[in-house]
Amino acid sequence: MRLESQNAIPLEKLQRWMYEVIVHPDDIESALASRSAEAEIPARRVGDFIKASRTMTPLQCVGVYHSMYLLRMGETLETDFPITAVFLGEKAFQELVRDYSGAYPSTSYTLDRFGDEFPSFLKEKEIGDAPAFLADLAKFEAAVTEVFNDTSSPVIGAGELEGLSQDAIASAVFRPIMALRLIEMDWDVTLQNDAYIAAESLPAPKAKKTFLAVFRRRWEVQTIKLDNAGYALLGSIIDGEKLGDALSAAFAVAENPDPAVIFSLFRDWMSLGLFSAIEA
Amino acid sequence: MKSNRWGSKDLGVGIGLRSPHFSEILENPPEVDFFEILTENYLDTNGYAAHVLDFVAERYPVVMHGVSMSIGSTDPIDFDYLAKVKALGEKTGARWLSDHLCWTGVNNKNTHDLLPLPYTEEILTHVVERIKTIQDFLGRPVAFENPSTYLEFAHSSMTEWEFLGRMAEEADCGILFDVNNVYVSAFNHSFDPLAYIDAVPADRVFQYHLAGYTDMGTHLLDTHSDHVVDPVWELFGHTLGKIGSRATLIEWDASIPDLGVLLAESEKARSWKEKEASNAA
């Protein structure tokens, strides 16, 4: 066994230091001089334990890792929240990446979880003229990602209702597919979503109470805009209520409490494949 | 040329399973010998990616390549993560599992980068113990890849290839030998790549990786974003002569090209393997 160098730094300390340096949002000099890095290893010692290369100083060597960190985190958030990124523009989005990475560093083995707190982060943070809009937009994009990755379910069609009496239908519980989310927003983010899909410029935010069902049909994520009654009906069904009770909840909030109209909503959803089972 | 000590099969030449190619793979399954998946991309998804993986696993051999075992970290081993890795390996019939000689985070925070370690006796012991624990839990050997690195620690008491070889022997684990990483690190740290290749214990090697890098002027960055360069092909030829034929994969993870371009690159790897095989005959 060869003797270890006297300059050896305990691995845990070295790793804590390197982590603090790598994730620091400012330049590499500031990262090394930061309080959190200095608490582990003083900046003046860097040359003692990191070797210079033929072309780079020790500081530049560790700077390679530092420079890649925020790029990686930014790419991850941009993948999960592409419309938010376009809406904000590159500079503002990168500032957000930097702030978010500092507030919510990744604690998972997968980057897929990194953006989990992004919608709530946007809600807390006052950004631009319409901060609540950004939170709604991110909430919508998070729902799209969740639905895209959620488990496939068997699907029943509207034909399953044939042969059932009205009483049987009213007392049945309809189980939704797994890949379905119901979201309520104060801004109509479908305007930005439609423009993004059409590769058009994103329109200005429009404040409007909006209810959406986001679901996956086969492998494609789709959305349905709902009114008050539709939102109440689908929400009650998702909560496991009998269809008759769910319809009653919808009538209570409907602007036009026409049973035929509201029941037709339900039939449409069955045709779209929003349900996976009927429990009589 | 002999296989490794576990008798793993030379699966031929494969490509990574990447989302831009999903629809083309489903519509017109390509002629490749195997697919490698990025483990973490499939641990928690049950949607389209899982559907494509099921399709692929029914038709091709699959190997799993992860980035989060963090064998060099001082954090506790994440057994919940390993349980998912194990389950995915069983589900896909993965021929083998691999990860990297690195650490990725500390204090339960993950940088999602493959960070370098000092190569010392103390750290070798640390890494070996963790690998043994991981392999016991998974119930199979794991191959660890030599990383591309951009810094070296002054207190290292052995070369990376000494560390890698001893780690493999003492932990009884495998090696995924990345030829491009040797080239990148050799450039960055001014060592002889042939010395590295010649020191790798052949009977530990499961698989080879080849990839393209980005020349940053002061250093080479392992970006997996381009064609394999000629000097790396030459090193690959040398590797085949020294270590033998193994499953070989072209890694292309950024600026991902059309599937046809990737397949053409993999055919180039096949040509090198065939040339070396005829030289050895």
Residues of B in contact with A215 (CB under 8 A): none
Closest C-alpha to B135, from B174, B162, B106, B91: B174
> Are the beta carbons of B115 and A18 separated by less than 8 Å?
yes
CA distance B195 to chain A (A): 19
Measured CA to CA, the distance from residue A246 to residue A248 in angstroms comes to 5
Residue A37: other Cβ atoms inside 10 A: 23
Residues 87-106 of B with CB under 8 A from A: 103, 105-106
Residues of A in contact with B78 (CB under 8 A): 109
Is residue A173 located within the same domain as residue A249?
Answer: yes
Q: So what's the pLDDT on residue B1? A: 55
Angle, helix A243-253 to helix A228-238, in steps of 10 degrees: 150
Closest C-alpha to A249, from A234, A228, A232: A232
Closest C-alpha to A41, from A11, A61, A69: A11
> Are the beta carbons of B122 and A8 separated by less than 8 Å?
yes
Asked if the structure places residue A137 within a domain, the reply is: no
> Are the beta carbons of B44 and A64 separated by less than 8 Å?
no
Is residue A168 located within the same domain as residue A83?
Answer: no
> Are the beta carbons of B107 and A19 separated by less than 8 Å?
yes
Q: So what's the pLDDT on residue A2? A: 45
Beta carbons of A211 and A198 less than 8 angstroms apart: no
pTM for the model stands at: 0.94
> Are the beta carbons of B157 and A3 separated by less than 8 Å?
yes
Which among A5, A15, A106 is the nearest to B155, CB-wise?
A5
Domain range summary for chain B, segments of one domain joined by +? 13-280
> Are the beta carbons of B115 and A65 separated by less than 8 Å?
yes
Q: What is the dihedral of CA B244, B249, B255, B260, to 10 degrees?
A: 110
Q: So what's the pLDDT on residue A7? A: 59
Residues 113-172 of A with CB under 8 A from B: 147-152
Asked if the structure places residue A33 within a domain, the reply is: yes
Q: Is A256 on the interface with B (CB under 8 A)?
A: no
Lookup result for tokens 């404040």: A207
Three-class secondary structure of residue B209 per DSSP: strand
CA distance A264 to chain B (A): 29
Q: So what's the pLDDT on residue A1? A: 39
Helices and strands, counts by H and E, chain B: 9, 12
> Are the beta carbons of A152 and B46 separated by less than 8 Å?
yes
Measured CA to CA, the distance from residue B251 to residue B226 in angstroms comes to 9
CA distance A163 to chain B (A): 33
Lookup result for tokens 């998702």: A238
As a whole number of Å, the CA-based R_g of chain A is: 26
> Are the beta carbons of B120 and A8 separated by less than 8 Å?
yes
Q: Is B219 on the interface with A (CB under 8 A)?
A: yes
For residue A115, the one-letter residue type is G
Q: Is B233 on the interface with A (CB under 8 A)?
A: no
Is residue A252 located within the same domain as residue A212?
Answer: yes
Asked if the structure places residue A221 within a domain, the reply is: yes
Which among A48, A65, A149 is the nearest to B150, CB-wise?
A65
Is residue A184 located within the same domain as residue A85?
Answer: no
What does the angle CA A201 – CA A203 – CA A209 come to, to the nearest 5 degrees? 145
Q: So what's the pLDDT on residue A157? A: 85
Q: Which residues of chain B have pLDDT under 50?
A: none
Is residue A156 located within the same domain as residue A119?
Answer: no
Measured CA to CA, the distance from residue A241 to residue A244 in angstroms comes to 8
Asked if the structure places residue A5 within a domain, the reply is: no
Which among A7, A8, A216 is the nearest to B47, CB-wise?
A216
| DSSP letter (8 states) at residue A205 | P
Q: Residues A134-159, buried b or exposed e (16+ Cβ, 10 A)?
A: bbbbbbbbbbbbbbbbbebbebbeee
CATH topology of domain B13-280: TIM Barrel (3.20.20)
Render pLDDT for B55-76 as a digit per residue (tens, 0 to 9): 999 999 999 999 999 999 999 9
* Domain edge (last residue) among A128, A143, A162: A128
* Domain edge (last residue) among A73, A95, A128: A128
Measured CA to CA, the distance from residue B175 to residue B204 in angstroms comes to 6
CATH number of the domain enclosing A245: 3.90.930
Phi and psi for B138 in degrees, rounded to 5?
A: -75, -20
Which among B74, B109, B152 is the nearest to A11, CB-wise?
B74
Measured CA to CA, the distance from residue A85 to residue A16 in angstroms comes to 31
Write out the residue range of the structural domain in which residue A68 sits.
11-128
Is residue A208 located within the same domain as residue A114?
Answer: no
Three-class secondary structure of residue B113 per DSSP: strand
Which among A50, A62, A108 is the nearest to B110, CB-wise?
A108
Residue A27: other Cβ atoms inside 10 A: 12
Residues of A in contact with B44 (CB under 8 A): 110, 112, 149
Is residue A116 located within the same domain as residue A159?
Answer: no
E strand residue ranges, B11-154:
13-16, 34-38, 62-65, 97-100, 103-106, 109-115, 142-145
Number of structural domains found in chain A: 2
Count of A-B CB contacts under 8 Å: 145
Is residue A110 located within the same domain as residue A23?
Answer: yes
Closest C-alpha to B221, from B148, B164, B143: B148
Residues of A in contact with B130 (CB under 8 A): none
E strand residue ranges, chain B:
13-16, 34-38, 62-65, 97-100, 103-106, 109-115, 142-145, 174-178, 205-211, 214-215, 220-221, 247-251
Q: Is A221 on the interface with B (CB under 8 A)?
A: no
Asked if the structure places residue A4 within a domain, the reply is: no
Residues 176-195 of B with CB under 8 A from A: 188-190
- 3 state SS for B151-177: CCECCCCCCHHHHHHHHHHHHCCEEEE
Q: So what's the pLDDT on residue A161? A: 84
User: pLDDT tens digits for chain A (280 residues)?
Assistant: 344 555 579 999 999 999 999 999 999 999 999 999 999 999 999 999 999 999 999 999 999 999 999 999 999 999 999 999 999 999 999 999 999 999 999 999 999 999 999 999 999 887 777 789 999 999 999 999 999 999 999 999 888 888 888 899 999 999 999 999 999 999 999 999 999 999 999 999 999 999 999 999 989 999 999 999 999 999 999 999 999 999 999 999 988 778 888 888 899 999 999 999 999 7
The β-bridge partners of B38 are B65
